[in-house]
């Protein structure tokens, strides 16, 4: 009988050495028992014991050049493709390999897509990779609500697998604070082109309390052209609703660039909070 340590190490080796995963962690389901009803690991797999979380780094240069197409030396193409499309496909392939490995050992593995598929909740994902990643020790929340890791700051994409396999839990992040708004002056809030982050939310993961800005999901994805990341010509209402967003989708056509990308994946909405965040490049 393989031990939980041996099984975990074998799974990690498959992820890191054979699937090009940069960060790997395991969260016991108990750390996520405070998740909203219907979105806990055990809501999907009643005998779930762990959540495996894997992340792939976004290329630094793709973030460095991200910006308005009319700005000299700026473009969104590299980020949208190599920081989003390809990263999501690679994460999906890695998750498929990890699930196949778990099943070969007699366990179940339930992978969730790394992005875009909102079948159950509409504007909210079926399962939160960010929360799972924090529970698995990869990092902590930035004020923007993004996952920040000590290795890459906000520059990674994440996938999660719920499993009934007995795995060794990763310790939660205990290092220096990764989000320091007193240093950056709330750069993510200032960069947001639709002022989608206001107020605060508080949540508990693994007995630890975290706070981050409250996100208006409709504002976050409103295609707003004036600041350079958006494409629709429909003005955004002061407090847009889900129905306002559905009307935009009914009344507009995709930009040709987005149509091309949609052959392969859902198109990212913005990324300004990622592009502006200096974590973890603080001195000291």
Instruction: Let me know: does 175 contact 150? Beta carbons within 8 Å.
Output: yes
The confidence score (pLDDT) of residue 67 equals 78
Instruction: Let me know: does 67 contact 80? Beta carbons within 8 Å.
Output: no
CA distance 17 to 216: 38
Residue at 283 is within a domain: no
Residue at 140 is within a domain: yes
The confidence score (pLDDT) of residue 267 equals 53
3-state secondary structure 20-89: CCCEEEEEEHHHHCCCCCCCCHHHHCCCCCEEEEEEEECCHHHHHCCCCCCCCCCCCHHHHHHHHHHHHH
The confidence score (pLDDT) of residue 199 equals 92
The confidence score (pLDDT) of residue 37 equals 84
Who contacts 142 (Cβ-Cβ below 8 Å, separation ≥6)? 148, 154, 178, 179, 188, 212, 277, 279
Who contacts 222 (Cβ-Cβ below 8 Å, separation ≥6)? 194, 230, 232, 236, 240, 245, 248
Residue at 209 is within a domain: yes
Q: Mean pLDDT per 10-residue run, the chain (284 residues)? A: 93 96 98 89 97 98 85 85 91 98 98 77 81 98 96 97 98 93 94 90 94 90 53 79 82 64 55 90 66
The confidence score (pLDDT) of residue 229 equals 43
- Please compute, for residue 227, the number of CA atoms within 13 A of its CA located in the half-sphere on the CB side: 18
Q: Which element (helix H / strand E) includes 94? A: helix 86-104
**The total number of structural domains that make up the chain:** 1
Residue at 192 is within a domain: yes
pTM for this one?
0.90
Residue at 284 is within a domain: no
The confidence score (pLDDT) of residue 271 equals 85
Q: Which element (helix H / strand E) includes 256? A: helix 256-261
Who contacts 258 (Cβ-Cβ below 8 Å, separation ≥6)? 231, 267
Pair of tokens at residue 91: 């994460």
Instruction: Let me know: does 169 contact 27? Beta carbons within 8 Å.
Output: yes
CA distance 259 to 102: 36
Tell me the sheet residues that pair with 148: 140
How far is the first Cα of the chain from the last one, in angstroms, to the nearest whole number? 46
Residue at 281 is within a domain: no
Please give the residue range of the domain that contains residue 228: 4-276
The confidence score (pLDDT) of residue 208 equals 93
The confidence score (pLDDT) of residue 230 equals 47
User: What single string gives the DSSP state of each residue in 159-220?
Assistant: EEEEE-S--PPPPPP-SS-S--HHHHTSHHHHH-TT--EEEEEEEEETTEEEEEEEE-HHHH
CA distance 137 to 99: 21
Phi, psi of 210 (to 5 degrees): -125, 150
């Amino acid at each position: 009988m393989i031990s939980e340590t041996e099984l975990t190490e074998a799974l990690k080796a498959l992820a890191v050495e054979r699937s090009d995963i940069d960060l790997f962690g395991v969260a016991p389901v108990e750390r996520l028992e405070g998740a909203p009803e219907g979105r806990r690991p055990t809501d999907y797999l009643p005998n779930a014991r762990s959540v495996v979380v894997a992340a792939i780094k976004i290329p630094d240069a793709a973030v460095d050049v991200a910006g308005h197409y009319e700005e000299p030396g700026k473009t969104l193409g590299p980020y949208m493709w190599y920081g989003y499309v390809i990263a999501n496909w690679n994460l999906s392939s890695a998750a498929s390999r990890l699930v196949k490995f778990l099943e070969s050992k007699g366990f179940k593995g339930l992978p969730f897509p790394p992005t875009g598929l909102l079948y159950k909740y509409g504007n909210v994902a079926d399962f939160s990779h960010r929360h799972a990643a924090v529970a698995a020790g990869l990092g902590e929340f930035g004020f923007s609500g993004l996952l920040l890791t000590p290795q890459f700051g906000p520059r990674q994409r994440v996938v999660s697998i719920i499993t009934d396999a007995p795995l060794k839990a990763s310790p939660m992040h205990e290092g220096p604070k990764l989000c320091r708004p007193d240093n950056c002056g709330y750069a993510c809030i200032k960069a947001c082109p639709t002022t989608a982050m206001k107020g605060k939310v508080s949540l508990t993961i693994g007995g630890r309390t975290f706070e981050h800005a409250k996100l208006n999901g409709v504002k976050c994805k409103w295609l707003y052209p004036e600041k350079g990341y958006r494409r629709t010509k429909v003005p955004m209402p002061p407090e847009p609703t889900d129905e306002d967003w559905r009307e935009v989708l009914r009344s507009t056509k995709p930009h040709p660039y987005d149509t091309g990308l949609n052959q392969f994946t859902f198109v990212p909405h913005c990324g300004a909070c990622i592009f502006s965040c200096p974590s973890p490049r603080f001195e000291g």
